[in-house]
Chain A
Amino acid sequence: MPEVLLQTEALTRRFGALSAVDGVSLAFEEGQVHALIGPNGAGKSTFLNLLSGELRATAGLIRFRGADVTRTAPDRLSRMGLGRTYQTANLFPELSCADCVWLAAQSRLPSSMSFFRSAERYAQVGVRAARALEWCGLAARGDAIAGRLSYGEQRQLEIAMMLATEPSLLLLDEPLAGLGHDEALRIVELLRKVARGRTVVLVEHDMDAVFSISDAVTVLVDGRVLATGSPSEIRASAAVREAYLGEEIP
């Protein structure tokens, strides 16, 4: 029985009268890619924001490695090993790629409250940053300014920054949204590589990508879990087809 890395219990988030996430209980197992799918407004992004600490839950629990992290701040969660990417590229638009990744890698120093030694002399940070850039195919783009990258490259940089923090759990929020066909293929390959040996929570609309990379799929509708299962079970489920897939896949 594989270990559960992250678990939610009746997780709920309300905005006024609207329940964006409504009593979601899910378990994410170590080493698996677990996809969340569902129509727009199903609460997938809200759910991710709850997991990463950027939104506070109205009710329910989140456990990470058994510890209650429901009210833990995003920076603590990051240092506990949770990494994430954002739906719209959420970078440092004025910094170079190398500096973005450097900042990410530097966060794993015991403390960055260091005032006198030049940052360049932290060799291990530089090595980790360079490795993450190279992994994501941006080795040659180190000097490019993040805000001026192409959409696809910005996604690569997002992933590189996330990897540079050496996370054990990855939250990916629609990594393929807005990409052209070729760019999407490139990112899917990258995701496949990234997912190897890591635990991933993936929110994505591209069904082909979801079914090809995921080990488990959960369908969210109106903030609730409609079904959870292996990709083939989800594909076969009549209820899921009716509620959701029928509209997206011919």
Chain B
Amino acid sequence: MSLSLFVLQIVNGIEYGLLLFLVASGLTLVFGVLGVLNFAHGSFYMLGAYLAWWLSERTGSLLLAILLAIPAMVLIGVAVERLAIARLYARDHLSQVLLTYGLVLLFNELQRALWGNDVHGVRTPAALAWTMPLGETQTWPAWRALTALACVCIGVAMRQIVLKTRFGMRVRAGASNAEMVEALGIDVRRLFAIVFSAGTALAGLAGMLAAPLTTVYPGMGENVLILSFVVVVIGGIGSIRGAFFGALLVGLADTFGKVLLPGFASAIVYAVMAAVLLWRPRGLLGPAFEGR
């Protein structure tokens, strides 16, 4: 592997990892604060991508489509939380898995009914349809660079919000102890709705950013969902920092796997997960294992 190809793979891996981080951070946040394991999270990614495609066809501009789609995703998040997820807070994991699995089926059918089974390409905005040279032979498309930059900015913003604001304090309190939040007199219903719709929007945004890179196709949410689970398992559930490192690890492992061991690329990611589990059963940044 030449040096420039190697650098390109690193860049690709990090970029993919950052996109995964957007999805996984929502998943881990929703589990950490609401205590709900949301299988429909991948569907939000898919919905985001389809909305980006559909709206950009209508408006002729992907950027405008994204601006319109984000509030739409927030609304979808609020609706799903109020109508379905809110009924799950006191229920066991099995109910959560099954109900959100039902939502996955529902969203898949919805996508099929509204947009059909075709694969759609999404064009990058003309202003960003140029590439940067990377080494002698490789190039880096501007849209990809922008995507990576956006993910980094969102990650930093999330960190600032969670660590520095009053709202972030409530989120952290909610993640560590839901009863305490109630005792502090925080409106849990509102907190949960905000966190869930934020998670929905993050997953949707990841789908919108990925749409020009991967095309838009049925079932695109599921691969991402499973990989986000792997990210969360590796990073430690409930930990955004863990999701960040886990996502980069998975992104790099997946990218290099595809180059070095084609055919087994997807298996490598899971091998990494198995290794982490053997070493730390609750993830890299999860609570240390205690035999209790």
Which residues of the partner chain A approach B292 to less than 8 Å between Cβ atoms? 54-55
Tell me which residues from 55 to 83 in chain A have a Cβ below 8 Å from any Cβ of chain B.
Answer: 55-56, 73-74
Per DSSP, are chain A's interface residues mostly helix, strand or loop, or mixed?
Answer: loop
Chain A residues with CB under 8 Å of B290's CB are 55-56
Chain A residues in 8 Å Cβ range of B291: 53-56, 73-74
Inter-chain CA distance A221–B273, complex, in Å, is: 44
B150-185 Cβ-contact flags toward A at 8 Å (1 or 0): 000000000000000000000000000000000000
- The residue on A at minimum CB distance from B291 is A56
Nearest CB of chain B from residue A50's CB, rounded to whole Å: 11
Query: A-facing mask of B271-292, CB < 8 A → 1, else 0?
Result: 0000000000000000000111
Chain A: CB-nearest residue to B289: A56
**A56-B292 Cα distance, complex, nearest whole Å:** 9
CA distance A176 to B244 in the complex (A): 49
Q: A56 to B290, alpha carbons, bound, how many Å? A: 7
| Distance A13 CA – B33 CA, assembled complex (angstroms) | 30
A55 contact set on B, CB distance < 8 A: 290-292
* Total count of chain A residues near the partner, CB < 8 A: 6
A210 to B81 CA separation, bound complex (whole angstroms): 53
Q: For the complex, what is the distance from the CA of A176 to the CA of B118, rounded to whole Å?
A: 69
Minimum CB–CB distance for B291 against chain A, Å: 6
Bound together, the chains give a CA A162 to CA B162 distance in angstroms of 47
- Cα distance, A73 to B290, chains bound together (Å): 12
Q: Which residues of B contact A53 (CB under 8 A)?
A: 291
How many angstroms between the C-alpha atoms of A178 and B227 in the bound complex?
49
Residues of B within 8 A of A54 (CB): 291-292
- Tell me the complex Cα distance, A231–B290, Å: 36
The B78-117 residues at the A interface (CB cut-off 8 A) are: none
Q: Give the residues from 236 to 292 in chain B that come closer than 8 angstroms, CB to CB, to chain A.
A: 290-292
CA distance A56 to B289 in the complex (A): 10
* Shortest Cβ distance from A71 into B: residue: B291
Could you tell me the distance between the alpha carbons of A53 and B292 in the complex, rounded to whole angstroms? 9
**How close is A229's CB to chain B, nearest CB, in angstroms?**
33
Q: With the chains together, A56 CA to B291 CA distance in Å? A: 7
Interface residues of A in 11-39 (CB under 8 A from B): none
A103 to B290, CA, bound (A): 25
Contacts of A74 in B (CB 8 A): 291
B9 to chain A, nearest CB (A): 41
Q: How far is the CA of A54 from the CA of B292 in the complex (A)?
A: 5
Minimal Cβ-Cβ distance residue in B for A55: B292
A55→B291 CA distance, assembly (Å): 6
In the complex, A56→B288 CA distance in Å?
12
A54→B290 CA distance, assembly (Å): 9
Q: How far is B290's CA from A53's CA once the two chains are assembled, in angstroms?
A: 11
How far is it, in angstroms, between the C-alpha of A74 and the C-alpha of B291 when the chains are bound?
A: 9
> In the docked arrangement, what's the CA distance between A30 and B290, Å?
31
- Expressed in whole angstroms, the Cα–Cα distance for A185 and B292 within the complex equals 32
In the complex, the chain B residue whose C-beta lies closest to that of A74 is: B291
| Closest beta carbon of chain A to B282's beta carbon, Å | 15
Q: How far is the CA of A172 from the CA of B290 in the complex (A)?
A: 22
Bound Cα distance A54, B291 (Å): 6
Mask, B53-93, CB within 8 Å of A = 1, is 00000000000000000000000000000000000000000
Give the shortest distance, in Å, between A59 (CB) and chain B (any CB): 16
Contact with A along B29-58 (1 / 0, CB 8 A): 000000000000000000000000000000
Residues of the B chain whose Cβ atoms lie less than 8 Å from the Cβ of A73: 291
> Nearest chain B CB to A18's CB is how many angstroms away?
15
| Cα-based distance from A73 to B291 in the complex (angstroms) | 8
CA distance A93 to B291 in the complex (A): 23
Least distance between A174 CB and chain B CB atoms (Å): 19
How close is B292's CB to chain A, nearest CB, in angstroms? 6
CA distance A73 to B292 in the complex (A): 10
108-124 of chain A: CB within 8 A of chain B: none
Shortest Cβ gap from A65 to chain B (Å): 22
Could you tell me the distance in whole angstroms from the C-beta of B281 to the nearest C-beta in chain A? 14
In angstroms, Cα B292 to Cα A196, docked, is: 31
**In whole Å, how far is B290's beta carbon from the nearest beta carbon of chain A?**
7
Question: For chain A residues 72-104, which have a beta carbon within 8 Å of chain B?
Answer: 73-74
Say how far A86's CB is from chain B's closest CB, in angstroms: 13
A101 CB to closest chain B CB (Å) equals: 24
Interface string of B123-140 (1 = CB under 8 A from A): 000000000000000000
Minimum CB–CB distance for A74 against chain B, Å: 8
Give A72 Cβ to nearest chain B Cβ, in Å. Answer: 10
Q: Which residue of A lies closest to B292 (CB)?
A: A54
Instruction: Please report the C-alpha to C-alpha distance between residue A55 and residue B290 in the assembled complex, in whole angstroms.
Output: 7
10 interchain pairs, CB-CB under 8 A:
A53-B291, A54-B291, A54-B292, A55-B290, A55-B291, A55-B292, A56-B290, A56-B291, A73-B291, A74-B291
Further 7 A-B residue pairs, CB within 8 A, beyond A53-B291, A55-B292, A73-B291: A54-B291, A54-B292, A55-B290, A55-B291, A56-B290, A56-B291, A74-B291
- 6 closest residue pairs by CB, A with B: A54-B292, A56-B291, A55-B292, A73-B291, A56-B290, A54-B291
